[in-house]
Amino acid sequence: MDRKPPAAYFDHAAAAPLLPEALEAMRPFFTDHFGNPQSIHRFGIEPARALEEARARVASLIGESSTARIVFTASATESNNLAVKGIARSLAAKGNHIVVSAVEHASVMSPARTLEREGFEVTEVRVDKYGTVHPGELEKSFHPGTVLAAVQHASNEIGTVQPLAELAAACRRHGVLLHSDGTAAVGRIPVDVGALGVDSYAFPAQSFYGPKGAAALWLRSGVRPRSLVEGGIQEKGRRAGTENVPAIVGMGRAAEIAALNLAAWSAHMARLGGRLLAALPERVEHIILTGHPEHRLPGHVSLCVEFVEGESMLLFLEDEGFAVASGSACTSKTLKASPVLLAIGLPHSVAQSSLMLTLGKDTTEAEVDRFLEKLPPIVERLRSMSPLYAKYQRGEDPYATPESSCEGGH
């Protein structure tokens, strides 16, 4: 028998439902307007026009008036790769040192390690217990050969919003360019790249209910990364290949709608997220809320439930109709704890007990109420089978034994 779809979707950080208006905007570009936007005949006119209209809408969502600074890509991962590798390589004659925060997404960390293998020096900047990068810590990592730093706008895993404008100011004082991954921020909080002072900024359509397969990289004037994809003149030579016009059109329409509704969406998510953050410690003992208590994304709830594995909670919650995520990668065959949770100082055993709830604009009070009702008995049942909890009840240190096969890192 097929499983019923989740009754409550609390995993918007992984994927968000597509806006109906975005889908309708996309339809003609699969059928009637199928031409290549680079073609000069009549079949290329409407796709080319739609492409630039979408570029303007996407730029406007992040406070940018110039469409020339938006490069369309296929994902935020591609945008981050283009920024980190492309900018660093373009500045190699000036210096070969780059800096990344310890809580960056793998799409920033992995390109940094690739550059390291090419001969670049990479410094990982530590964060505090909330996952915050402090400007002073960032500045201490710079030296005369530093050309690029990368700090996310907000954490998709623990919800912390970074003091990005202060970090950008610190970078400017040392002549260092700053790239930021805005995947978790766009569509949840207002973004103005000019006010933030960053030099490049990546984000995908799905962050604001647009289609997968479309994303953007904003570049400050004068920032010219080396292209990763060569062989065409598209995107002014910065990203070759025929554009995914339907997806980009959908991204533009979603950006337009998000710009009009962001304040209401954010307030709604903040209210429901605040309810969960306040009620969960009262309903479940021995939980650790992760991320900054104040400077965090609206509707983002992250926690560790001590003495219980995250994977087990996910499965039990799925049976109750809840789609949630775990910050721990122990749900995979690699059995590795989340690097982000380790970076904020949690031991492996606790990091493996994480839950991450990312609410959306359509999340309801009733869904939140039902989650608060269903989670405590699930935790109680799992703890009744937990050797760690048994140790705790006997008055022993549950984390005193050597760690199991989980290891940190990527």
Q: Would you name the residues annotated as active-site residues?
A: 330
Residue 83 in contact with residue 147, Cβ under 8 Å?
A: no
What single string gives the DSSP state of each residue in 284-324? SSSEEE-S-SSSB-TTEEEEEETTS-HHHHHHHHHHTTEE-
Residue 240 in contact with residue 227, Cβ under 8 Å?
A: yes
Q: Give CA–CA dist 196/216, Å, rounded.
A: 17
Both tokens assigned to 274:
């605040």
Both tokens assigned to 116:
């390291």
Residues 6+ apart with CB under 8 A from 288: 303, 304, 306, 346, 350
The single residue listed with the structure tokens 């004082």 is 173
Residue 143 in contact with residue 176, Cβ under 8 Å?
A: no
Both tokens assigned to 280:
């969960």
DSSP H or E stretch at residue 194: helix 193-196
Axis-axis angle for helices 365-384, 245-283 (nearest 10): 60
